[in-house]
Amino acid sequence: MPEFVLRGEDTTTTCYACPVLRGWMLVGALATGCGFQPQAGTADASVDAPDADPSNDQDHDGIVDSLDNCPTVFNPDQRDHDGDKRGDACDLCPHIATLTDTDTDGDGIGDECDPRPNQAGDHVVLWEGFYDASSITGWIPGGAGGDWFWQNGTLVQQIASSGERTFTAPNSYQHIYVATSFVVGALQTGGLLGFCSGVASPQQYCCVLDQSGPTLLVTTGGVPVSTPWPSTFAPDDHIQLVQNTATNNHCDASTSSGAHAAVSSTLAATAGKLDLYAASAAATFDYLFVVEIGN
Ligand SMILES: [Ca+2]
Ligand SMILES: [Ca+2]
Ligand SMILES: [Ca+2]
Ligand SMILES: [Ca+2]
């Protein structure tokens, strides 16, 4: 099942972060409002040390407060996707390693990942760290299909041959904010190349596409708005996409190599199912963070 807020059990110990990448992630988070985060699930075996005093475990999750990454939230898994020492269960932006977790409007979403940081009423409807195979239950391959599967804490689409390959969520969403990140895999040249995520019915994706040169594109029900994107695609690139329909379907893309661009359409997206999309490319997705924006 998809992973909603305040749930989960950790089986993931994969971590491919490095100091350079982590430095970029923090810069990216500050610059763009959201940053790419690699898989960083943690589960510290020392938490069950025999001398632990169970009387200091206020949430009764078996982990003493001094070692608990969410001392007041029952989270025996201790998952911490972004590695910032706050467990997913109490991290206001579980995909962004921030030091403050500021929540100006008090709606439970940190400023760095809040589509409206100064207006309450937004709520997280999906936090998916792809911790286990059941994380994609109910998702449906579409378009040319592709080969989508869960693997080691990620969602993989491994076929690079031409074709628009989509993966559709089981649920529809209203007034969406979605952040995802992925690593570019094998590429096939000669056709439309790129990646998208976001509300897809009607088509209102946030995309980075190479049609006649890389372009950051927001599609708005057949009325695309685009801007040049100062990068090319290459295997192992880390790319983050953020779609925010609270701001006229704002689309923001950034890469681990420092490329960044953003564009807004003139039409606000409304509702639909969430799609992930890859054309002429393989990709490995790291997380999905979805907020429904209040009225
Ligand atoms: Ca806890
Ligand atoms: Ca965290
Ligand atoms: Ca907030
Ligand atoms: Ca808000």
> Following DSSP, what letter does each residue of 202-265 receive, concatenated?
TB--EEEEESSSEEEEE--TT--EEEE-S----TT-EEEEEEEGGGSSEEEEEETTS-EEEEE-
> What sign results for the dihedral spanned by CA atoms 106, 124, 229, 18?
positive
Tell me how far the alpha carbon of residue 60 lies from the centroid of ligand 2, in angstroms: 20
Q: Which residues line ion ligand 3, judged by CB < 5 Å? A: 103, 105, 107, 109, 114
Strands (E) across 131-224 are located at 140-143, 148-151, 154-157, 164-174, 176-187, 193-199, 206-210, 214-218
Tell me which ligand sits closest to the C-alpha of residue 112: 3
Give the whole-angstrom CA distance, residue 253 versus residue 181: 10
Tell me how far the alpha carbon of residue 114 lies from the centroid of ligand 3, in angstroms: 5
Tell me which ligand sits closest to the C-alpha of residue 87: 2
Based on the number of CB atoms within 10 Å of its own CB, is 271 exposed (0-12), middle (13-18) or buried (19 or more)? middle
Residue 248 belongs to what H/E stretch?
none
pLDDT for 10 equals 36
Q: Does residue 45 contact residue 62 with C-beta atoms inside 8 Å?
A: no
Coil/strand/helix, residue 268: coil
Q: Peptide bond before 202: cis, by omega within 30 degrees of 0?
A: yes
Tell me how far the alpha carbon of residue 94 lies from the centroid of ligand 1, in angstroms: 15
Could you tell me the mean pLDDT of each successive run of 10 residues in the chain, 295 residues long? 37 31 34 36 44 76 95 97 96 90 95 96 96 95 90 95 90 91 93 86 81 82 83 93 88 91 77 90 97 89
Q: Does residue 169 contact residue 183 with C-beta atoms inside 8 Å?
A: no
pLDDT for 118 equals 97
Q: Does residue 196 contact residue 165 with C-beta atoms inside 8 Å?
A: no
**Angle at Cα 75 formed by Cα 69 and Cα 77, nearest 5°?**
90
Tell me how far the alpha carbon of residue 104 lies from the centroid of ligand 3, in angstroms: 6
Q: Which residues line ion ligand 2, judged by CB < 5 Å? A: 80, 82, 84, 86, 91
Tell me which ligand sits closest to the C-alpha of residue 98: 2
Tell me which ligand sits closest to the C-alpha of residue 119: 4
Give the whole-angstrom CA distance, residue 263 versus residue 218: 7
